[in-house]
Structure 1
Amino acid sequence: MKITKVSLAALVALGAFSSVASATPLEEAIKNVDLSGFARYRYTNDNRDRKADTKAGTNDTAGHAFRMQTSFKAAIDDNFFGVLTLRYAATDGSGDNNEKRDANGEIIDGTDKTNTTNSFGVYEMYLGYKVSNTTITAGKQLIKTFYDDGDIAGTGLKAVSTDVSGLTLTAAAYDALEDSTNEIDGPFLTTVTNSATFHDAPANLYYLGAVGSYDPVSFKVAIANLQEIATLYGAEAAFSFNVTDDINLNLKGQYVYSDSDHKKVADADFWAVQAGTKLFGAKFNAGYLEFDAKNKDNDARNSGKIAFTSIDANGQLINPAKILNGAMSGSKQFYNNIKGDNDYWFVNTGYDIDKFGLGAGYTQGKGTSYALNKERAKRNEWYAQASYKYSKKLNFLTWYAAAKDKKDGESFKQNRIRFEAKYSF
């Protein structure tokens, strides 16, 4: 018998050809995969009028934010599907933000840096099962509750049913929540996930929600329990009536009550009402809102406790301003960081013509200023914005907002400029 010698390289080549021969063709592998997502660029510039100055002689801070999110949804069979979402997020400095000084004023760091090392990360990865009008998903996924702004991920189980016409029912349980600074707005969620404040609480999130739409009336009801921290009870009722094709009248009211379950948390509530109209491309709305917490400085028992009516950012609660009750004061002014009594009135207007949009608004009231460390400060903001819808997928937005806190002869001002370009696919 003749024995033929085969080199290692030949064996590797034969193995590769064998793998290729048995592999699923690319065209077949991707034919049941849906691709969606967006790419977004943001430039943000903040100017703060304050005495302390650590930014090379200026109170300006600015940055370029780059974000891309890509979701792959693959049909496994008639009922099962899988979703994988990849996310890239990076921020580059602008305007000498990164200059740092020691206690003697000596420079200890360089200037702004371009981030080229961030990579794509797994944002969502879950398995889904759909039967009739009910979908069950398990894994890492966006929680999408009434109390967050739609970009927070959690690990758990969610069921959504639309079996009843006009009604969407949701039940979910998550035993882990995201702590990425790319998505978190306000201090609360970081405190829950990344500090020892609630080390003695499981902090699992359990959620029940109902959304109904029966023209011209719609409503939302939501209960969120952060285990052994607090339970949020919220509701929204809205009315929208088209008088003609060019005239619309609308009204919306919201209420949230936060019932504390932890010694470091105080009860809080939020309510708001907004009335508006749309007339031949023009839009106008006005309203009033209050949010209060039982943690005032003069309350010896509860002062210093955490209070909130949203989990992240301001959730889906009415927030007419750009930065006043949000990014102002180091992002401490969100509804997830309430202190004392706060009340505001507001007006907003806008006009859309073809692909262009213009808008402006004003909010004024009294509430806690974290920048001044004072309760019942006079607070206000005005803003102006412009948008351009180049196509269904590509949109541009820019706005300018100026906010001010004032009390006892002290004041704090913060102005923000934002430009955004977003491509959706």
Structure 2
Amino acid sequence: MKLVKLSLVAAMAAGAFSVANAAPLEEVLKDIDVSGVLRYRYDTGTFDKKFEPIKNDQLNGSKQQHKYRAQINFSGAIADNFKAFMQLDYSANDGGYGAYQPDPNSPQYNPNVSNTSKGLSVRQLYLTYTNDDFATSVIAGKQQLNTIWTDNGIDGLVGTGIKVVNNSIDGITLAAFAVDSTNARTEQETDTLQLLNWEKNIYGGAALASYNVFGGDINSQLWLAYMSDTAFLYALDVAYSTTVFDGVKWTLEGAYLGNSVDNSVKGTNNNPVNSKPVSWDGKNNNFFALRGTVEFGGWDATLGGLYYGKKDGVTITVLEDQGNLGSLLAGEEIFYTDGSRLSGDYGQNTFGYVTAGYTFNETVRVGGDFIYGGTKTDLVGFGGDKMEAVARVNYKYSPKLDFSAFYSYLNVDRKNAGSADHNTVRLQALYKF
């Protein structure tokens, strides 16, 4: 490589020339849309001593934990039919006194530190081409997946690949995607994800429809995906909403998620009770969920239930966390207990739940959840009856700013191993711009 040395005068001249020919900042930014989110969480939780053998790092075990999340999005047209998108992300945890960390030998273990060394990172970066004649968009690059199996909020799984979206049929959106890498290994992975081989490509497609029928609205989703040499996944979600009486809104939603796991998917975990190795085979899974909701005059009430998993092996329902199934679930901690984790666990689960609340002046909602069920498994000391009660309050201060809080009491009664309790509190402020 040839090196060129500039004199001080020449360097200054070159710098002046480049500045003189650069576009003013306001010219650069005038066609760029800026949006984002700021989130603060304070978590605190306690376990009784009997919970120790089945405690895992997905349950809130922090005595004091401050969690910060910030995302800034930049989107703008760069040429005819082409748009660029970039998302900067900041995430940090500050641990207060006695903050629970699963591995004291980890470099990240430091329960009494205020983190100021974290910086912004590029979380998403992609290019979108839109053809209006065919109502089709092609999105290529690093992007949040936003499927039924992944979190569609600000913490969702990110993958590098290509997605094609078509809206040429009124009321129907068709999509196809191919992903050759994800951030599961760096951000999302927990011990529940050992069933999946994240080195493999993911291919899939979806059909999402919304239309009016029988005096109400139907929203449906059909999803198919294939993770090479690992699993074939399929899902159907249908929700119907209508006004049955004057001012009374009724919604019924049902979902089925299934998958077929490759015979080569095997592994070994430690029994959480006695730490002895347990060999397992990956099992095919069927997830069923149904819920009905009634809303009237500020009141809302929901009754629902779900079933999934196998008592003699490990299954998955979603690819990360709780997927995009939030409307079909209840509680806060119960689906993170051993045996019940939707992103992969050992056990057969059955739960029923009821939620209710009242919203004052369309700004403050006070409510609660009660969920009861259990996990069946052939592992001694594992699974058992489970119950969670949650009290919650949400305050919509403005269209952009929300405050929320919840208290959760969780009980796990393991057969022949005793009952264990867990309490947790979360306070959150969320600002979107």
Provide the TM-score with structure 1 as the length reference.
0.85
Match of 2:220 in 1: 219
Match of 1:401 in 2: 408
Deviation at 1:123, TM superposition (A): 0.3
Flag the 1:221–1:102 CA change in 2: closer, same or farther, 3 A.
closer
Flag the 1:251–1:28 CA change in 2: closer, same or farther, 3 A.
same
Aligned-partner Cα distance in 2 for 1:179–1:156: 14
Deviation at 1:202, TM superposition (A): 4.9
What are the equivalent positions in structure 2 for 1:69-108 lying under 5 Å apart? 69-97=71-99
Aligned-partner Cα distance in 1 for 2:136–2:230: 30
What are the equivalent positions in structure 2 for 1:155-166 lying under 5 Å apart? 155-166=160-171
Mapped contact 1:129–1:136 kept (Cα < 8 A): yes
- Aligned partner (choices 196, 200, 218) of residue 203 of structure 1: 200
Mapped contact 1:249–1:277 kept (Cα < 8 A): yes
Read off the aligned partner of 1:234 and give its amino acid letter: A
Aligned-partner Cα distance in 2 for 1:400–1:117: 31
Report Cα offsets for 1:240-269 as digits up to 9, x if no partner: 002466320110111111111142221111
Deviation at 1:171, TM superposition (A): 0.5
* Structure 2 alignment gaps of length 5 or more: 1-5, 56-60, 267-281
Match of 2:147 in 1: 145
What are the equivalent positions in structure 2 for 1:26-425 lying under 5 Å apart? 26-51=25-50, 52=52, 61-97=63-99, 112-132=112-132, 133-150=135-152, 151-179=156-184, 182=187, 184=188, 187-189=191-193, 192=196, 198=197, 202-215=199-212, 216-243=217-244, 246-263=247-264, 264=266, 265-293=282-310, 296=312, 303=313, 306-317=314-325, 318-326=328-336, 328=337, 333-354=340-361, 355-368=363-376, 373-375=381-383, 377-406=384-413, 407-425=415-433
Mapped contact 1:73–1:82 kept (Cα < 8 A): yes
Read off the aligned partner of 1:287 and give its amino acid letter: G
Flag the 1:323–1:235 CA change in 2: closer, same or farther, 3 A.
same
Read off the aligned partner of 1:412 and give its amino acid letter: A
Match of 1:20 in 2: 19
Aligned-partner Cα distance in 1 for 2:306–2:112: 40
Read off the aligned partner of 1:419 and give its amino acid letter: L
Report Cα offsets for 1:195-252 as digits up to 9, x if no partner: xxx4xx8521111111111132121111121111111111011110024663201101
Deviation at 1:24, TM superposition (A): 1.5
Match of 1:4 in 2: none
Report Cα offsets for 1:295-332 as digits up to 9, x if no partner: 51xxxxxx4xx310100112123221211013x45xx7
- Helix, strand or coil for the counterpart of 1:420? strand
Read off the aligned partner of 2:332 and give its amino acid letter: K
Aligned-partner Cα distance in 1 for 2:115–2:373: 40
Mapped contact 1:372–1:411 kept (Cα < 8 A): no
Aligned-partner Cα distance in 2 for 1:370–1:102: 31
Flag the 1:9–1:191 CA change in 2: closer, same or farther, 3 A.
farther
Read off the aligned partner of 1:211 and give its amino acid letter: L
Mapped contact 2:41–2:429 kept (Cα < 8 A): yes
- Helix, strand or coil for the counterpart of 1:339? strand
Report Cα offsets for 1:84-104 as digits up to 9, x if no partner: 11100000001222799999x
Read off the aligned partner of 1:291 and give its amino acid letter: Y
- Helix, strand or coil for the counterpart of 2:13? helix
Flag the 1:218–1:186 CA change in 2: closer, same or farther, 3 A.
farther
Report Cα offsets for 1:254-303 as digits up to 9, x if no partner: 1111111142221111001101100011110101110022x51xxxxxx4
- Helix, strand or coil for the counterpart of 2:332? coil
Aligned-partner Cα distance in 2 for 1:419–1:68: 17
Read off the aligned partner of 1:163 and give its amino acid letter: S
- Helix, strand or coil for the counterpart of 1:374? coil
Mapped contact 1:367–1:378 kept (Cα < 8 A): yes
Aligned-partner Cα distance in 2 for 1:99–1:325: 20
- Helix, strand or coil for the counterpart of 1:16? helix
Report Cα offsets for 1:47-79 as digits up to 9, x if no partner: 11124599xxxx753310011001111201230
- Helix, strand or coil for the counterpart of 2:184? coil
Flag the 1:102–1:42 CA change in 2: closer, same or farther, 3 A.
closer
Report Cα offsets for 1:92-136 as digits up to 9, x if no partner: 001222799999xxxxx9751111111111100111101122111
Aligned-partner Cα distance in 2 for 1:371–1:356: 44
Aligned-partner Cα distance in 2 for 1:204–1:211: 23
* Structure 1 alignment gaps of length 5 or more: 1-6, 104-108, 193-197, 297-302
Q: Which moved more, 1:158-167 or 1:10-19?
A: 10-19
Aligned-partner Cα distance in 1 for 2:347–2:73: 42
Flag the 1:156–1:27 CA change in 2: closer, same or farther, 3 A.
same
- Helix, strand or coil for the counterpart of 2:147? coil
- Helix, strand or coil for the counterpart of 1:395? strand
Mapped contact 1:291–1:338 kept (Cα < 8 A): no
Aligned-partner Cα distance in 1 for 2:159–2:374: 35
Read off the aligned partner of 2:168 and give its amino acid letter: D
- Helix, strand or coil for the counterpart of 2:334? coil
Match of 2:273 in 1: none
